[in-house]
Amino acid sequence: MKRPVIGIIGNHYLINDQYPAQAAGEMNIDAVAGAMDAIPLILPSMPGLMDIREVLEICDGFLLTGGRPNVHPEEYGEQETEAHGTFDRARDGIALPLVRACVERGQPFLGICRGFQEVNVAMGGSLYPEIRDLPGRMNHRMPPDGTLEEKFALRHAVTFQKDGIFHKVTGAQEVMTNTLHGQGIKEPGPRIVIDGYAPDGTPEAIYVKGAAGFALSVQWHAEYRASEDPVSRPLFSAFSEAARQWKTTKSAPVA
């Protein structure tokens, strides 16, 4: 069987601080090609040029990647403040409706970091602008210095609900993860189930309740060394199986 096509949501950035570009990190591309044995396809976050209906037909699943810009607070009914950081409204315009369409169709997706936050907002939830400012919370942001390996080092545990989806997928109830995010879930959307928490109570793993297809998201960067990591490998494997099912039947597996 031909490999499934996985759409990787791109991010806007400037080359040499002046030339606009759309790109996705090679870690995401490697995770799709390696850990999933799928075809990675970078999708530009340019709503004026991209038709969601066409994208849904081209791809068999979607990887909602991390990214420095945050989801704009207007998307969850709040006013913009300096604490919310920078934004990418064009990505909001692609990712949020894409999540809702995938949930409706049963088409598989995996959200990572910003993608995790996008899924919550798309399903009616809200975000804290800065987790580390909350009483009792740890600093979940990327270490400012050090090598790539040090920045993506395993820094805290995540505990999954016993016999929940992530427990079953990973084969473990407690795992160690990296952490490189500033924002986090404030109020979960009505259909968002929080299935894993960091020790400080920060939501780290979610799924969409009642979604016909694979609809999982994690707050950590699961794409880092996805083919080797004992947590990421089964997560991407399950995503791959769902995408192959979709490619074959254009429907989610029957429970």
CATH numbers and ranges of domains, the chain: 5-249 (3.40.50.880)
As to burial, measured by CB atoms within 10 angstroms (0-12 exposed, 13-18 middle, 19+ buried), residue 104 is: exposed
Buried b (16+ CB within 10 A) or exposed e, 112-141: bbbbbbbbbbbbebbbbbbbeeeeebbebe
Predicted local distance difference test score (pLDDT) of residue 146: 83
Report which of 232, 115, 135 is spatially closest to residue 185, judged by C-alpha positions: 115
User: At what angle are helices 89-105 and 114-122 packed, to 10 degrees?
Assistant: 60
Predicted local distance difference test score (pLDDT) of residue 1: 64
220/46 Cα distance (integer angstroms): 25
Q: What are the CA-CA distances from residue 111 to residues 117, 133, 137, 138, 152 (Å)?
A: 8, 24, 23, 22, 18
- What's 61's DSSP letter? E
201/137 Cα distance (integer angstroms): 8
Write out the two tokens for 58.
């081209």
Predicted local distance difference test score (pLDDT) of residue 247: 96
Q: 211 by DSSP, 3-state: which?
A: coil
Report which of 37, 39, 42, 36 is spatially closest to residue 10, judged by C-alpha positions: 42
Q: pLDDT truncated to tens, each residue of the chain (255 aa)?
A: 689 999 999 999 889 989 999 989 999 999 999 999 999 999 999 998 999 999 999 999 999 999 888 999 999 999 888 778 788 999 999 999 999 999 999 999 999 999 999 999 999 999 999 999 999 999 899 888 888 899 999 999 999 999 999 999 999 999 999 999 989 999 999 999 999 999 999 999 999 999 999 999 999 999 999 999 999 999 999 999 999 999 999 877 655
Q: 67 by DSSP, 3-state: which?
A: coil
Predicted local distance difference test score (pLDDT) of residue 83: 77
Predicted local distance difference test score (pLDDT) of residue 19: 94
Write out the two tokens for 124.
């009616």
- Find where tokens 């991010």 sit: 11
DSSP per residue over 78-119, as a string? Answer: ----GGG--B-HHHHHHHHHHHHHHHHHT--EEEETHHHHHH
Predicted local distance difference test score (pLDDT) of residue 255: 54
